């Protein structure tokens, strides 16, 4: 039997990038009505509060939704990461997210990978997120992240893959 903390990432999800205000509320509400159970947002999208509102008003039980958010680069320092995630949880109207990702590698190494991956792992230990992962990391940075927290701790490397952006080596 699968433990709650081992919930698999649904193959299909509803992304909320560039959606704001009533548009994101309507999109999330409609997506949930149509059967989507993975909702993806991020701190930098500026719509976590609306996503939280739509989920709260949807009538779908929170434990039936797989909720992902991403930590923005401004919040990578150890002293900011967990407080920023707690702020995201308040906006999302939940006590936990199912997956928290590091949105991008730190620009120019301004914060060490060890620092932000360590802080992200601590957020998991505290129960703020059930799973952790990375987003938009190249192969070398993915290996470094694995070395910091362990292979079994990285749930995914979320990457963009579209007809206009192909990186088969990374996606493979």
Catalytic (active-site) positions: 45
Checking phi first, is residue 108 left (phi over 0); if not, alpha (psi -120 to 50) or beta? left
Q: What ranges in 15-112 are assigned the alpha helix state H? A: 21-33, 48-58, 78-92
CA distance 140 to 132: 18
Structure tokens at 34: 């149509």
Structure tokens at 156: 């995914």
The helices-and-strands tally (H runs, E runs) of the chain is 6, 6
CA distance 78 to 62: 28
Structure tokens at 90: 């308040």
Contact 153, 101 (CB under 8 A): no
**Residue 129 pairs with which residues in a beta bridge?**
97
């Amino acid at each position: 039997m699968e433990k709650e903390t081992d919930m698999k990432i649904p193959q299909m999800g509803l992304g909320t990038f560039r959606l704001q205000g009533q548009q994101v509320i309507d999109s999330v509400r409609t997506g949930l009505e149509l059967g989507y159970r993975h909702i993806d947002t991020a701190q930098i999208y500026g719509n976590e509060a609306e996503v939280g509102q739509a989920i709260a008003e949807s009538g779908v039980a929170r434990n039936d939704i797989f909720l992902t958010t991403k930590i923005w680069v401004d919040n990578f320092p150890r002293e900011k990461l967990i407080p920023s995630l707690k702020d995201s949880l308040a906006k999302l109207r939940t006590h936990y997210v199912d997956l928290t990702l590091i949105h991008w590698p730190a620009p120019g190494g301004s914060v060490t990978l060890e620092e932000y991956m360590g802080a992200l792992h601590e957020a998991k230990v505290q129960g703020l997120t059930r799973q952790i992962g990375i987003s938009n990391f190249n192969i070398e940075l993915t290996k470094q992240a694995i070395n910091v927290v362990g292979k079994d701790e990285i749930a995914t490397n979320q990457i963009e893959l579209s007809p206009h952006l192909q990186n088969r080596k990374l996606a493979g």
